[in-house]
Structure 1
Amino acid sequence: MSSRPPKATQRLDLLAVRVTRSLLSDASVHVRDCGPAGVKLWNIFDNAYRRRAGRDEVQAPHSVATTALRALTGGYVWFDAKRAVLASRDPIDDDMVRDVFTLLYGLATGEDIDDIDLNQPVGIAEKFASTPQEQRALADYLQHSPSQQPDAPNWVYETVAWDLARRIAAEPLAIDRLSVRLRPDTAGGLVAWDDPWPDETGTRFALPRIRLRMKTEPNVKDPLILVSASATRISSSMDFARTVLADQDRADRPLVEVELDGRGRLRNVNRLALQALSRLGMGHSVLHEVDRQVQADRLARQQAQASGEKSPAPQPLGTVRPIMAKNFYFPVGSGVGMDYYRGLRDHIQTTLGDNCQPLYGFFEGGNFKQAKKDEVLMEPLDITRSLDAMGREHLRIVCLWATDEIRQRMINALARAYGLDPAGLNPAEGKGVTLHGTRVSVVFHHVPDFLQHGPAAGRSAHTADLVSLKAASGEIVGVWAETEYGDGKKGSPPRPKDSEDAKHQTHRVLAKMDLVVQYIDRAVQTGIDKSTGMDHQSLSCLMDLYRNLGFIDRRISRVLTKPIGELPAVGVAHCGVHVRRQSRRQGDRDARISVAASVLKPPTVPDGAWTLHGWSYTDRTWRQYHLAEAAFHAADYPAGKMTEFMDNFAGYSSTAKVIDQALEDLADYLGGTPYTVTVDGFACRRLWKGLNNKAQGQPPEPNTTWLPGSTIAPKYRPVAVIRLNTTDEEVPRPVQVTITDENDREIKTQERTTQVFRIDPDPDLGKHCTWLLVNTTHQFDGNGAGRQGSKKTRYGALPWNKGKNEIKSNYYAMTATEIFPITLNTDHRRELMMVTARLCHQALAWKHRTRYPIPLHAALQMDKDHPQYRRTITPVDLDGETNSEDE
């Protein structure tokens, strides 16, 4: 009689370690906490600086003090100006603190460095110098909220990695049969300073860099150290560099991370910090060495230009290494890969010893099926179903073209989408042609003057006589337009000036006509399949146009079939609210805020299509998605602070109340259909306190914007709020899946997964777990991708292996979307999580998974497609393996 095999468990191994008293041991830092009196003095100083600068959004340059003190003490210094707290790993002399803050005050208020009297310290300097410097054991400050959630002081989160990084660096990292020395840096991370990754010529380098961050998870009693890594690219010169890593003159000191001031090519070391150090008698420091390198690079560039050379020859790696500011072309690929993360996890557990308690996830569900390319292409039946659900009779696609090539590509894509012969589809100029019975047609207009780059004046006149752009009753009009948006790289057209960019200008003209538009770039043809001739880029553009119009295909109906408790799947709407702050740029008076929302509304008839609707902060009216998007894009982003340094709680509360009013309006718009709200917890945590981890298990604070919908009547509120987090530094990094038996013995491991895993709550912290939807990038999963980084690290990379340049290739790793439902009128958290996961996996107009579910992703796209977005959004460095949200 055979016995049943032991039940296997799938355990998700994460690069996350519990921060316990035993792990921290006797680690300590020195803290000066000036309390409310210090905060008041700093605010007086900060306000005086703001008045002198004449701008409300600026703050006193507190980084001068931090930068100077790091140079004076060896590195580990952290300063929280808002709370008047100064922390350092080693004690700092009172006189040094007094002098640094006196110099900071004098320089910030416009005094000449030689006129500042160090014998007459100002109040803020005297306060910091006279505040007792207490050596505090970090373990004593692992505090908790009333509901036992982690709630340590800010300075603990910022300083706890200092000692852990030193301990992890005590032993070399054994990886790819190599012994790699790790060096701590002043940010609490680690750098393989002596073992960079070279390109195949040995002249360009990327540095393996590891970051340690203390974060929390809901209903996990201990804070966590989350570990991430990147292939940080080293620039060949200081031009455009925003951040520099520099070695100090003593081996026992950490590498210093220095942020440079200024914009564009000519960035500088903070001049005020250099002046302060010189005044204190420190004529040579790591800052001076960085400054010397900046000046040397400028001289080398001038000499190269004088001799007719394009740029100076690359220099060998020295003690100062500038980090590339943007993810331009580089001969060493980005990302560190899965194998590196596995080796790093083993190293951390070994060096931290028995007190290292990893965090795990456990298999919850999934079995998600990957859509095929042909399934993504929306069929004519999907178009007519959406038209019926939207109460529309006809879709007219208006193609605006300038070159014959793009016209033909549009024709080929439309012919394939509607099962027509492209040879027989040759529309006459301005004449409508049927694509699908009486329901879908297309018209082509040759408008090169409208589409070309140049001044905005008079552009709208080119479309004034195009009657096909004006929707009749029962019609939807979607515009497919040609553009040329060069990036200035070799072989592509120059990038137009912001004031002459036709893409943004035509977008605004069309939006004011209640039209949405999708562009196709004639300079980009990366999507043509050489074996079949299929133009995937053109088809993807057509699918994006359908998404902009709010069309929902049958794939969405197939994944929304499971009930949520007593509510049927078609009895719940799903809303997503997207919030983003855009920093003030040169020429702007204020920062900008973008708030957009969308909702998936259930079908009103059996087997009907779901419909998509939208709302924006500028329009504040729920409309069908294409009309909401056009109304949003027709107006500028509204001005608003919502800044970390300037805005107070009242400002955030005001924005949250506007969103609450939108939710009340949504309840009416839905006719009483229950709905959920999904938000990005990282982006929105300042708007709603109830999203924060330390607030879990606590009753809502009365009369506050605790959660979305808190300030409106209960009958209008959502049944649940789903909090997402996709920020790599905030979400534990998945490393591998370990299969264990019923006795927790390891059977085998698998290197990747795309399923859902749960993080179980600790005892006595309730029953609410957190779920992780684990992702791998579509590049890693694609045909011929080679899955670089899955079996070896860049230390073993070859310039040519089986048709792949392993040095130049990007290395990918798993990421995760954290899903945490906060239920209000339903207890069915797992069902809510699975709906969210399915709506991430089943994207609109895209065969790959997105990190946001459809409602929140659609709200995000309203923002990303805004005419002002690309001109004003701050560029992002792409060192990690983040999944793109672009479709």
Structure 2
Amino acid sequence: MRTLAFPYTEAMAEKIHGYTLGSEVNDTWQDLNRRYTRHPKNLPYRDLSLGLRYVSSDYATICKDPDGPGTLLLMRKKIDTAIISRLFAAFERDLAARHGAPFEDLLGPLLRLTKPRTIHIAKYLQAGTGTHADIPNWVFDVATWRTIELLRGVLKLPDGTDLLLRPDIDGNLVAFNRPLPETHPRAEQGIHYISLEPITVPGYPGILLNIDAHISATTGFPGNAKSLWIATDDTGMLLTARHRYDRPNDRNVITGLLPQLVDSFSIHGVPANFTADDLLATHPRIRARHATPPDRHPIGSGPGRRFLDCVLEHATARLNTESLVLETTPIHNIDAPGDPDRHAKLASAVNAAPQPIHISVVYQDDLQRHRSAQALTEVLNLPENSLTTAESTFLDGALTITFDSAKTDMLVTPGPTHLRNTLAEQIISTRTPDALHLVLAESNKELAAAKPAEDPKPQLRRALAAHGTVSQFIDPASTPKPDAADHPANAAVRDLLRAAGLTATTPTRVFSRPLQPQPCVIVGLYTREQNQPATRMISLSALVSDGTDTPWHMLGYHPDAHGWNDLPTAIAAHHATNLSQFNDPNPATRTALARAYTERALHQLRTRYDDIPMIIYIDGSNRYPLWSGTTNKNLGNEQLDALPHLGMINPADISLVRVNTASDGKLPQPVRATGKRANADDGAVPATERLYHLPGARQDTYYLINRWDCTRFG
């Protein structure tokens, strides 16, 4: 299978220029920061970096010095320090004007004195063994702009149409000059553009240039616009910008400092505001991206795959190398086809649960009550029209379903927490004694958007969890068209049952030939970092099979659930408090604490199940991995502390699988089957259950292209 990933070799690596911003510049910057911002905000470095890209028509950024203390201005092209000084002065002038302060020209004179030094990219292409990012982020950015330099220019479509690819300041290549079709009402045309992201993949040496092709709908109505492309000349770099509607003056204003910052460096100037007429002009200087995908594609069906083919041919010729090829393997049918009896099996799982199940449906809108009843009927294989009363009992008393109407202000209107606490107590008072209680409640994201801090959904979830009750929600926004299948409601019911540890999945559906059902433990580890506030989250769950064709036993880990416990107990503990948050401001300290927490949990589980095989799945998209042996460059490092399972009981019976998904944005884009000609109808990459092998990786790495067009690495 051909992909749009190309190797970035040392031969492509180049020299860039670093301008040291000394202590005087840093001190002056901090002084301006205190003068023009409020803590904890900082001055908008990003606008200045993007301005430098515009004036140099290439990559520029301001970052920490990679070889020592201090700050560095990195640029692919060497430019006169007078231009840099002028841009910094313009930045300071715009800040002063915005705050009604006098312009003192403090930064500009300091920048005239800086001298560039040469930095060799090849030095940074080989990463060390640390747990942090393998290669500095700016190296990836430089690789992006080197690729832009090679790919920009004319790309030819299959019908002979020439598209002029122009870079924008965000690092995309945009066919700004020729949207298709040529004429269309309200300027709803398609803009072809290419995004580029250098990546590393598990066990693969070096950087891959990951290219993707897109067609974005444009609009001639400012109210539908998500963002803007601004052309200040006919062939050069494009500005990208946001906008807002200035109601008092009835105009659409281009926001941010960037337009003002680069106005004097442009040929035609950068407008401060725009109208619909500007977007509808014959040769517009501004094009607006549509905020939402239109119902019908502006240039017809199937253009995306054909554009992928064109980009593959274009990139192969311009980069003078072949793209990454994924090899076909005999491994297939890793997931059994749909089970026609899954509804009956799920009902059997409910019937075989160790305690009765009570599902409370809480609603304020009759349509949502009807959706919930239909979904419960379909998912649990209940008799038709059996949920028309306030309470119904099934499976010889093993399942009770009740419907409780709630007032709008109690259930879906944003407000103080005590409203949801009161509602939760009312719901809990109706639960069946000694039953596992589940709640399917109505929510309304449209109402919640008015006051996100008082969103009723998390308030009610936490209030119910304090009573040991897990919950799931159904929103009117997901209501399907009449007579259409209600997949969102069905999924909500399945998610609710899954949170209770109830599933129709059995070992025989997973371990099909040549595998055989046997006792095993499958562990899932999911972790994420966020910046504001700085914290790390970890979620641990497990499936345990005794090797017979009975549903999995599902466990979850949370300190407030006394470690490993039944999944609903662990989920309720998570919803009632926090999910293992580590809040130390130092990333290394957060990582160390999170690693100790995770290893303690894994050792506890292994001690409980020490004599059966265990498989540990860990997600691979986190910026600060817990173990150095799971980073792309060091995948498979078998030092004792490099992987989580090496110090556990019977490590030979434990497998570790790292998983990346397409949503992480770190996987090569598949284009067509190997050996097929460009634009061949039989060359499309089909949905499949076959695994594709990544050649050249130090550890076994596989692709799965499934029916939802999602790619995964294992």
Q: TM-score, normalised by structure 1?
A: 0.67
Kept in 1: contact 2:358–2:437 (CA 8 A): yes
Aligned with 1:596 (options 515, 519, 539): 539
Give 1:119-268 correspondences, 5 Å limit: 121=110, 125=111, 129-134=113-118, 143-145=125-127, 154-197=137-180, 201-236=185-220, 243-249=227-233, 251=235, 253-258=236-241, 268=254
Corresponding position of 2:305: 338
Aligned-partner Cα distance in 2 for 1:598–1:210: 39
- Cα deviation, residue 211, structure 1: 1.5
Q: 1:57 to 1:773 in 2, by over 3 A?
A: farther
Aligned with 1:726 (options 661, 664, 670): 661
Corresponding position of 1:630: 572
Corresponding position of 1:759: 694
Corresponding position of 2:713: 818
Corresponding position of 2:357: 395
Aligned-partner Cα distance in 1 for 2:576–2:297: 42
Aligned-partner Cα distance in 1 for 2:365–2:47: 55
Kept in 2: contact 1:246–1:321 (CA 8 A): yes
Q: 1:368 to 1:714 in 2, by over 3 A?
A: closer
Aligned with 2:415 (options 455, 465, 482): 455
Aligned-partner Cα distance in 1 for 2:222–2:117: 38
- Cα deviation, residue 632, structure 1: 1.3
Q: 1:409 to 1:727 in 2, by over 3 A?
A: closer
Q: 1:16 to 1:504 in 2, by over 3 A?
A: same
Aligned with 1:363 (options 324, 328, 332): 328
Aligned-partner Cα distance in 2 for 1:617–1:48: 45
Q: 1:618 to 1:562 in 2, by over 3 A?
A: farther
Corresponding position of 2:551: 609
- Cα deviation, residue 13, structure 1: 1.0
Aligned-partner Cα distance in 2 for 1:108–1:313: 29
Q: Secondary structure at the match of 1:321?
A: strand
Aligned-partner Cα distance in 1 for 2:350–2:308: 48
1:737 aligns with 2:659: no
Kept in 2: contact 1:386–1:552 (CA 8 A): no
Kept in 1: contact 2:6–2:324 (CA 8 A): yes
Q: Secondary structure at the match of 2:480?
A: coil
- Cα deviation, residue 410, structure 1: 4.1
Gaps of 5+ in 2: none
Corresponding position of 1:436: 395
Aligned-partner Cα distance in 2 for 1:221–1:194: 38
1:507 aligns with 2:461: yes
Kept in 1: contact 2:539–2:580 (CA 8 A): no
Aligned-partner Cα distance in 1 for 2:232–2:570: 55
Aligned with 1:446 (options 368, 385, 405): 405
Cα deviation per residue 1:806-842 (whole Å; 9 max; x = unaligned)?
xxxxxxxx542121xxxxxxxxxxxxxxxxxxxxxxx
- Cα deviation, residue 361, structure 1: 0.8
Aligned-partner Cα distance in 2 for 1:536–1:31: 54
Kept in 2: contact 1:213–1:225 (CA 8 A): yes
Give 1:57-76 correspondences, 5 Å limit: 58-76=41-59
Residue identity matched to 2:540 = A
Aligned-partner Cα distance in 2 for 1:720–1:40: 51
Cα deviation per residue 1:637-690 (whole Å; 9 max; x = unaligned)?
787668xxx744223323333333332333345466553332221225444433
Corresponding position of 2:702: 771
- Cα deviation, residue 204, structure 1: 2.0
Aligned with 1:656 (options 595, 602, 609): 595
Aligned-partner Cα distance in 2 for 1:527–1:48: 58
Give 1:398-797 correspondences, 5 Å limit: 398-417=360-379, 420-423=382-385, 426-427=388-389, 429=390, 431=391, 433-448=392-407, 450-456=410-416, 457-466=418-427, 469-470=430-431, 472-473=433-434, 475-486=435-446, 497-498=451-452, 501-522=455-476, 524-526=478-480, 529=483, 538-560=489-511, 570-582=518-530, 584=532, 590-591=533-534, 593-603=536-546, 606-616=548-558, 621-635=563-577, 647-670=586-609, 673-696=612-635, 698=637, 700=639, 706-708=642-644, 719-727=654-662, 729-738=665-674, 749-754=683-688, 755-761=690-696, 766=698, 768-777=699-708
Report how many residues are paired.
691
Structure with the larger strand share: 2
Q: 1:515 to 1:64 in 2, by over 3 A?
A: same
Aligned-partner Cα distance in 2 for 1:344–1:220: 23
Aligned-partner Cα distance in 1 for 2:424–2:460: 10
Cα deviation per residue 1:380-438 (whole Å; 9 max; x = unaligned)?
55424761xxxx131122222334444444444444555554455543x4x5x321123
Aligned with 1:92 (options 75, 79, 82): 79
Q: 1:32 to 1:241 in 2, by over 3 A?
A: farther
Kept in 2: contact 1:478–1:549 (CA 8 A): yes
Q: Secondary structure at the match of 1:360?
A: coil
Aligned-partner Cα distance in 2 for 1:167–1:342: 18
- Cα deviation, residue 599, structure 1: 1.2
Cα deviation per residue 1:466-489 (whole Å; 9 max; x = unaligned)?
56654644x3122223344447xx
Over the matched positions of the two proteins, sequence identity in percent amounts to 20
Cα deviation per residue 1:81-138 (whole Å; 9 max; x = unaligned)?
46444333321113333555577689989995621246752xxx47xx53434386x6
Query: Which one has more relative contact order, counting CA pairs under 8 Å at least 6 apart?
Result: 1
Aligned-partner Cα distance in 1 for 2:193–2:163: 12
Kept in 2: contact 1:514–1:627 (CA 8 A): yes
Aligned-partner Cα distance in 1 for 2:426–2:255: 56
- Cα deviation, residue 219, structure 1: 4.2
- Cα deviation, residue 227, structure 1: 0.8
Corresponding position of 1:30: 16
1:283 aligns with 2:264: yes
Q: Secondary structure at the match of 1:738?
A: coil
Kept in 2: contact 1:552–1:612 (CA 8 A): no
Cα deviation per residue 1:180-203 (whole Å; 9 max; x = unaligned)?
332233444321112224595352
Q: TM-score, normalised by structure 2?
A: 0.81
Cα deviation per residue 1:275-310 (whole Å; 9 max; x = unaligned)?
766xxxx73538x944x24x344xx89xxxxxxxxx
Residue identity matched to 1:720 = S
Q: 1:454 to 1:212 in 2, by over 3 A?
A: closer
1:319 aligns with 2:291: no
Residue identity matched to 1:544 = D
Cα deviation per residue 1:243-302 (whole Å; 9 max; x = unaligned)?
532223363x3333457799999875433x56766xxxx73538x944x24x344xx89x
Aligned-partner Cα distance in 2 for 1:152–1:594: 24
- Cα deviation, residue 578, structure 1: 1.9
Q: Which moved more, 1:574-583 or 1:262-271?
A: 262-271
Q: Cα RMSD over matched residues?
A: 4.5
Q: Secondary structure at the match of 1:356?
A: coil
Residue identity matched to 1:115 = E
Aligned-partner Cα distance in 1 for 2:694–2:493: 40
- Cα deviation, residue 341, structure 1: 1.0
